[in-house]
């Protein structure tokens, strides 16, 4: 079990995907994403969400992302944020706000 203080260390923000393309160098199928996080700027991510989503489906989609984890190199991409999703039988389903939010809004 973790404490509420542990959970509060995660900086989870709303962002809008502005670019999505296949990460051809990744070992597992993935997309290279650019996410507009408002005051935090545009961050890159490599996300294994190819089972359900096509690149064009992702443009302008709002997502939740953890922004205070260390960057990771995924093939030829430096992934700066972790996009959140749930695992389902069909593949990863993105976690999104149910109403339009401002880029950079923090999960409360």
Residues 9-26: pLDDT tens digits? 999 999 999 999 999 989
The per-residue pLDDT for range 39-91, each reduced to its tens digit, is: 999 999 999 999 999 999 999 999 999 999 999 999 889 999 999 999 999 99
* Rounded percentage of the chain residues whose pLDDT exceeds 90: 95
The reported pLDDT for the residue numbered 29 is 94
Would you give the distance in Å from CA 58 to the centre of its chain?
Answer: 11
pTM for the whole structure: 0.94
8 Å CB contact between 46 and 31: yes
Segment 18-40 shows an average pLDDT of: 96
Instruction: Name all domains of the chain by residue range, CATH numbers in brackets.
Output: 11-94 (2.40.50.140)
Return contacts of 49-55, CB within 8 angstroms, 24+ apart: 49/83, 49/85, 49/91, 49/92, 49/94, 50/22, 50/91, 51/90, 51/91, 51/92, 52/90, 52/91, 52/92, 52/93, 53/94, 55/20, 55/21, 55/22, 55/31
Determine how many CB atoms are found less than 10 A away from the CB of residue 24.
Answer: 10
Distance CA 99, CA 108 (A): 15
């Amino acid at each position: 079990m973790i404490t509420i203080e542990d959970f509060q260390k995660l900086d989870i923000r709303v962002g809008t995907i502005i670019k999505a393309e296949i990460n051809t160098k990744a070992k597992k199928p993935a997309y290279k994403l650019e996410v507009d996080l408002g005051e935090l700027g545009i961050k890159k991510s490599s996300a294994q969400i190819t089972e359900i989503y096509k690149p064009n489906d992702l443009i302008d989609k709002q997502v939740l992302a953890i922004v205070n984890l260390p960057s990771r190199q995924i093939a030829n991409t430096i992934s700066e944020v972790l996009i959140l999703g749930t695992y389902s039988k069909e593949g990863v389903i993105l976690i999104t706000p149910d109403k339009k939010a401002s880029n950079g809004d923090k999960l409360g």
